[in-house]
Structure 1
Amino acid sequence: MKRIHYIFLLSFIGLASCKKVIDLYPESNLNTETYYSNLDEVKAGLTGAYNSLQKLIYYEWQLTELRSDNTKQGNPGSTSSNNRDLSDLDMFTPSTSHGAIYQYWLTSYNSIRNANLILQKLGVKYDPAAGSLSFQSISIPITDADRKQLAGEAMFIRAYNYFNLVRLFGGVFLNYEPLTPEQAKTMNRVSAAEIYKLIEADLKTAAVNMNTLKFNQIAGADLGRANGWAAKGLLAKVYLTQNKKSEAITLLNDVKNNSGYALLTGANAYANVFSTTNEMNSEIIFAIRFKAGGLGLGNLLPNVFAPLSSGSAVIAGDGDGLNYPTNDLDTVSMGDPRRATNIGVFGTGSAAKLYVKKFIPPQPSVNDDTENDWLVLRYADILLMLAEAQGFSQPSIDLINGVRTRAGAMAYAAGALSTVAQFEQALSTERRIEFSFENQRWFDLVRFNTTLTTITAEQAMKDHFAREYYNHYRQYTAPALTLAQLQSNVTKEHLLLPIPQREIDTNTSLVIPQNPGY
């Protein structure tokens, strides 16, 4: 069983009778004005910041994996509003008032606010002009080592949120300290470059202030918390996304050579990465942790992904069938040992359906309450990012082969990848299979637009629609689209999502620009 910290946020504050005429710090505001007064309270607040990431994952797959060539909405003939919302994302036609987009946006900024509160109490100040962070004097009785470790974790959480936001929406609102609603209305969107400046500052500062113990030296109680290696790994991906390959290579080699994280070995190495009995193993650098047991902290996505009307045959409580593997991903995965972990088949004959198997626990579980952690950064990602950053070369092919062979797949023979195009296709396919359904594929495709020379997100998605049109997309009737119409939805502008219209409409102080194409 995992060890995970829980926070129950001052549920009974305000129950005492009010006898004072003037109350400088009302009891209902203790969590922001006076609560963070010692180490334990800062740790509790940080746990709340970690827990805020759980809700993000419920929406993230809809904005990433579903928009990629890995998965599709499970019931194209449905006219229900929930399924139609998924279809709109799947077909690149979301409205500016799309519910999941707004909920993801709102949840991300709530999580950022949690991190900002902790950083403010720990005296962390961001200078947007310099793009740097500094530690100011504070009155909380806390050691310098604890202060820097906890601040680094909050920086990591803030950077993680902003990294996803900037990749999904482009330039967004830059909130680096707690704001009142009135203050927030005076802040407009900034450029993506300004967002990346904060992300880099957070992760660089976190990397040098958090612990960098080797994996086998990390205390059990700290497994799952961000550390210096997680900050370096995520920063490397930030650099790679911006095509800063040399900076990424330096960090990736550091994690590869010095962190103590490593690929698993053995007959079932790949499956064991995701096993609920092998959590936070040597391949997992950072994960969003979940805890089953009726605590409200269980993972509900296995039920969301299990096939519709499967009863208890696949998972307790039936499945929702909202996120099905594409036939193309299944074809690409044929012959690869990882397919058995990633993709399941429910039913027989013409009624057989593929489903996302990767996160469904083998043991009985309660409906919407499984133990599965959500893996954000893995050691295999470090190796494959290094191959991507280095480009076509034998050392890069060796890195791909190392990931393949630990999963039981055949290594590429000498000379099998003899051109840049062959290498880049092998890298893309390797990442696609290795990280199937982990919300990586969409971000990979968009990043490939700048890091690779022969693969683009736009062409990959047009090819996807062509491959899946006759068995899936032509079944849509609201609206019914020809293949040409469907492919025309894939534009450079639509690689970004729309800014939630509610943000634009409710701000009476500023004119907030919408993303082009919406």
Structure 2
Amino acid sequence: MKRIINFILIGSMGLFSCKKVIDVIPQSNPNTTTYYSNPAEVRAALNGVYNGMQKPLFYEWQVSELRTDNSKQGQPGSTASTNRDLSDLDMFTPNTAHQGVYNYWLNTYNNIRNANIVLDKLGVIYDPAAGTISFADIAIAISDADRRQLAGEALFIRGYHYFNLVRLFGGVFLVHKPLVPNDGKTMNRVAAADIYKMIEADLSTAASSMSAAKFAQIPAATLGRANSWAAKGLLAKVYLTENKKTEAITLLQDVITNSGYSLRPIYADIFAIDKEMNSEILFAVRYKAGGLGLGSPFANTFAPLGTGSQVINGDGDGLNYPTAELDTATNGDTRKATILSVFGTGTAAKFYVRKFFSQVILVDDAENDFPVLRYADIVLMLAEAQGYTPASIDLINSVRPRAGLPLYNATTINSVAAFEKALSKERRIEFAFENQRFFDLLRFNKTMTTITIEQTMKDHFTNEYFTHYRLYVAPAPTLQELYDATTPDRMLLPIPQREIDTNTQLTIPQNPGY
């Protein structure tokens, strides 16, 4: 049964000011000073941190999948500001005040704050100079095993958030403990290397602190919570992103050999709402339908616009629109029926994302969980880390039978370029619309020799220009203008302008190209 989170502890940052100072806290009102007196209260607050992962995920597809060859803004003729904002992300031309970018940034830092409060109460201290984490004495009566498990879960979530931030924005603000508002004004961006140093510390500590029970031995009550295997898998992706292939290989082999997780024989079963937290899901952001405020919005968000209740109750928004390229790439692949679908025929046909679809009673209240890390990811990352070898080809082949596709051999993959093309395509389809493609393409710039994100996206603009981008309301971009915006600088998002403008004590540098 899914957790139903009915308590969310709000963090300690002040949101309002007042001329009078009231220094007596009503004893009936829990706060970050009086709360966290026992393990149950810490667990309740940690549940709030898990729940806090939903808000940034609502915007994550906009800043990741939409900026790939899998997705496009589906209404090129629209003049609505929300659609134009999506178009700007799609074409790598967001301005520094982009609302979606700011919403993602704000919600991510809000949940980092929540995680930091839990970590502080558990006595977890990060030393930025040494890049290490230590545990101080605390007053809470809790066993060391429980304390480390709870701390590991919070560290995993903090590491996950910072991993997304550093890949999307580069060097950001390194907030590793609770702050009061004025403290934030004295904190500037740090180098990306310093962010990665803390991510590594968070995830390595989480991996050594949390349960390492094999999948079959995980109690039903804790399914869905982070564990040692999730931390090792995510840390391996961090290492691979940093091009630390040797370190990544060690962790990936450990997960494959010892975790008890495995591939599901039927691709659709991975995402089925009656098979959640199955053997392929190392970690997912969880949702619960039923009018609790915890349902997934993506079934409605991604369903085709203007179809009434013919596809989903309450109509769809038609966003995260699958590209014609992806439609073609999935022909003959049995995964296609799970990944995308089409409503209507001929020129009226509307493609839409099917992967997170279940029928809803209430709008934006679907049951579907959203995978963050899957066993197939572990397998294909190991192939990527090992490079062009027979063993790596075997790893790619391990996910192809359930796609109904023939296996590769030494004839079909006979060079580094052929291997990299096959692996890139396999990951593209396997994880389509799981917000992996953009991060994959960024990483390929380091881990591969023949694939770059810039050239991939230029090819995408070429392929889709006459059927999509040239139809934008005047002035429609030229193909050359799309090429010109596809630069290494523009692979990073702008630091939200509000962060720069509201700080009166420091000059916050903007990312180059904005």
> Structure 1 stretches (4+) deviating beyond 4 angstroms?
21-29
Paired with 2:343 and 2:205, the residues of 1 have a C-alpha distance of 48
Contact preservation (8 Å) 1:290, 1:371: yes
Paired with 1:121 and 1:507, the residues of 2 have a C-alpha distance of 29
Q: Which residue of 1 aligns with 2:349?
A: 352
1:375 lines up with 2:375 in the alignment: no
DSSP 3-state at the match of 2:513:
coil
Deviation at 1:353, TM superposition (A): 1.7
Letter in 2 for 1:4: R
Q: Which residue of 2 aligns with 1:15?
A: none
**Structure 1 residues 352 and 186 mapped into 2: Cα distance closer, same or farther (>3 Å)?**
same
Q: Which residue of 1 aligns with 2:16?
A: none
Paired with 2:100 and 2:225, the residues of 1 have a C-alpha distance of 27
Within the candidate set 298, 304, 308, 2:305 is matched to 308
Q: Which residue of 1 aligns with 2:289?
A: 292
Contact preservation (8 Å) 2:171, 2:192: yes
Alignment of 1:14-413 (within 5 A): 23=23, 25=25, 30-265=30-265, 269-361=266-358, 363-413=359-409
The percent of aligned pairs where both chains have the same amino acid is 66
Q: Which residue of 2 aligns with 1:423?
A: 419
Per-residue CA deviations over 1:279-335 (Å, capped at 9, x if unaligned) read: 000000000000000000000111010001112221111100011100001111111
Paired with 1:57 and 1:432, the residues of 2 have a C-alpha distance of 20
1:505 lines up with 2:501 in the alignment: yes
Contact preservation (8 Å) 1:207, 1:227: yes
**Structure 1 residues 69 and 10 mapped into 2: Cα distance closer, same or farther (>3 Å)?**
closer
Deviation at 1:343, TM superposition (A): 1.2
Letter in 1 for 2:278: N
Q: Which residue of 1 aligns with 2:14?
A: none
Deviation at 1:26, TM superposition (A): 5.1
Cα RMSD over matched residues? 1.4
Q: Which residue of 2 aligns with 1:434?
A: 430
DSSP 3-state at the match of 1:355:
strand
**Structure 1 residues 191 and 22 mapped into 2: Cα distance closer, same or farther (>3 Å)?**
closer
Contact preservation (8 Å) 2:334, 2:402: no
Letter in 2 for 1:261: Y
Paired with 2:244 and 2:195, the residues of 1 have a C-alpha distance of 16
Paired with 2:418 and 2:9, the residues of 1 have a C-alpha distance of 57
Deviation at 1:407, TM superposition (A): 3.2
**Structure 1 residues 63 and 29 mapped into 2: Cα distance closer, same or farther (>3 Å)?**
farther
Contact preservation (8 Å) 1:288, 1:373: yes
Deviation at 1:7, TM superposition (A): 3.1
DSSP 3-state at the match of 2:400:
helix
DSSP 3-state at the match of 1:377:
strand
DSSP 3-state at the match of 2:419:
helix
Contact preservation (8 Å) 2:7, 2:45: no
Letter in 1 for 2:198: L
Paired with 2:410 and 2:334, the residues of 1 have a C-alpha distance of 21
Paired with 1:431 and 1:463, the residues of 2 have a C-alpha distance of 18
Contact preservation (8 Å) 1:315, 1:365: no
Contact preservation (8 Å) 1:263, 1:406: no
Deviation at 1:413, TM superposition (A): 3.4
Per-residue CA deviations over 1:111-163 (Å, capped at 9, x if unaligned) read: 10010000000001111111000000000011111000000000001000000
Contact preservation (8 Å) 2:240, 2:447: yes
Paired with 1:478 and 1:32, the residues of 2 have a C-alpha distance of 53
Deviation at 1:184, TM superposition (A): 0.7
Paired with 2:302 and 2:211, the residues of 1 have a C-alpha distance of 36
Per-residue CA deviations over 1:407-426 (Å, capped at 9, x if unaligned) read: 33221134210000000000
Paired with 1:316 and 1:234, the residues of 2 have a C-alpha distance of 36
Deviation at 1:29, TM superposition (A): 7.1
Letter in 1 for 2:277: M
Paired with 1:394 and 1:49, the residues of 2 have a C-alpha distance of 42
**Structure 1 residues 418 and 205 mapped into 2: Cα distance closer, same or farther (>3 Å)?**
same
Q: Which runs of 5+ in 1 are unaligned?
A: 12-20
Paired with 1:211 and 1:480, the residues of 2 have a C-alpha distance of 54
Q: Which residue of 2 aligns with 1:16?
A: none
Paired with 1:400 and 1:310, the residues of 2 have a C-alpha distance of 38
Contact preservation (8 Å) 1:69, 1:326: yes
Q: Which residue of 2 aligns with 1:14?
A: none
DSSP 3-state at the match of 2:52:
helix
Letter in 1 for 2:215: F
Letter in 2 for 1:53: M
Paired with 1:313 and 1:430, the residues of 2 have a C-alpha distance of 32
Letter in 2 for 1:420: V
**Structure 1 residues 502 and 364 mapped into 2: Cα distance closer, same or farther (>3 Å)?**
closer
DSSP 3-state at the match of 1:33:
coil
Q: Which runs of 5+ in 2 are unaligned?
A: 11-20
**Structure 1 residues 10 and 255 mapped into 2: Cα distance closer, same or farther (>3 Å)?**
closer
Q: Which residue of 2 aligns with 1:3?
A: 2
Deviation at 1:477, TM superposition (A): 2.1
DSSP 3-state at the match of 1:31:
coil
Paired with 1:423 and 1:29, the residues of 2 have a C-alpha distance of 60
Paired with 2:116 and 2:24, the residues of 1 have a C-alpha distance of 23
1:458 lines up with 2:473 in the alignment: no
Letter in 2 for 1:252: L
1:471 lines up with 2:467 in the alignment: yes
Contact preservation (8 Å) 2:62, 2:100: yes
